[in-house]
Amino acid sequence: TQLLEQSPQFLSIQEGENLTVYCNSSSVFSSLQWYRQEPGEGPVLLVTVVTGGEVKKLKRLTFQFGDARKDSSLHITAAQPGDTGLYLCSRGANNLFFGTGTRLTVIP
Amino acid sequence: EAQVTQNPRYLITVTGKKLTVTCSQNMNHEYMSWYRQDPGLGLRQIYYSMNVEVTDKGDVPEGYKVSRKEKRNFPLILESPSPNQTSLYFCASSPQTGVAYEQYFGPGTRLTVT
């Protein structure tokens, strides 16, 4: 099993705060995806990163792929209640592996 | 509307009673996949299909069967369900096989086996 470890497992913050969640692996991966899943729905893709050191921004979300392509982070600036959800990282081509996720709650 | 549909959305059944969860996509995607999601274990891939008549095992295939006779449909079959298959199931599709294509997920099927 190609383990993807996500941390923290749970995170509860106040609206307006900043946060970072992490996705780590012991092996190199060619690309990594971040998804967000809201209660009662399937995951929705946020971003795909493919190049070591790559940084991508999606409004208040900043995604970074580690230089060695073994880890990735997601930083949210000025979190809003709409950011609440389960954040999942995923790797693989056809045989896909997901991390266990970070469950984020943003309190108004 | 482009989407992945699953039926039923909720199902309660008894041990050993065969069931099928249907999955259909209207985006002409080549790749389809099934996952189960369990607390603390995350999303785990059951089976995937890269094209019609081509299926492969994922991480947790035991106790499940799939078929891909048409491009748009990818049913998940539980021949003899057991309580440890109680879970939330997701079907997904992707435009192409290979690295890093977006997975489009269905709304999920919550299965309880008593």
Contact criterion met (CB below 8 Å) for A88 and A21: no
Q: State whether B43 and A98 contact (CB < 8 Å).
A: yes
Q: Do B48 and A96 touch (CB under 8 A)?
A: yes
CB contact under 8 A, B59 and A95: yes
Confidence band, pLDDT 50/70/90 cuts, at residue A86: very high
State chain A's mean pLDDT as an integer. Answer: 93
Q: What pLDDT was estimated at residue B69?
A: 97
What residues of A are in contact with residue B3 (Cβ under 8 Å)? none
Question: For chains A and B, what is the number of CB pairs under 8 angstroms?
Answer: 67
Q: CA B27, B29, B31 angle in degrees (round to 5)? A: 150
Q: What is the mean pLDDT of residues A60-86?
A: 95
d(CA A90, CA A23): 9
**Is A89's pLDDT higher than 70?**
yes
Residue A94 C-alpha, separation from nearest chain B C-alpha, in angstroms? 6
Provide the shortest C-alpha distance from residue A7 to chain B (in Å).
Answer: 13
Task: Read off the pLDDT of residues B4-27 as tens digits, 9 standing for 90 and up.
Answer: 999 999 999 999 999 999 999 999
Closest partner residue to B107 (CB to CB) among A30, A31, A42 is A42
Indicate the pLDDT class of residue A11, thresholds 50, 70 and 90.
very high
**Residues written for chain B:** 114
Q: Which residues have CB under 8 Å from A1's CB, separation 6+?
A: A97, B59
Residues of chain B with pLDDT under 50: none
Mutate to test the interface with A, among B93, B103, B104, B109 (most CBs of A within 10 A): B103
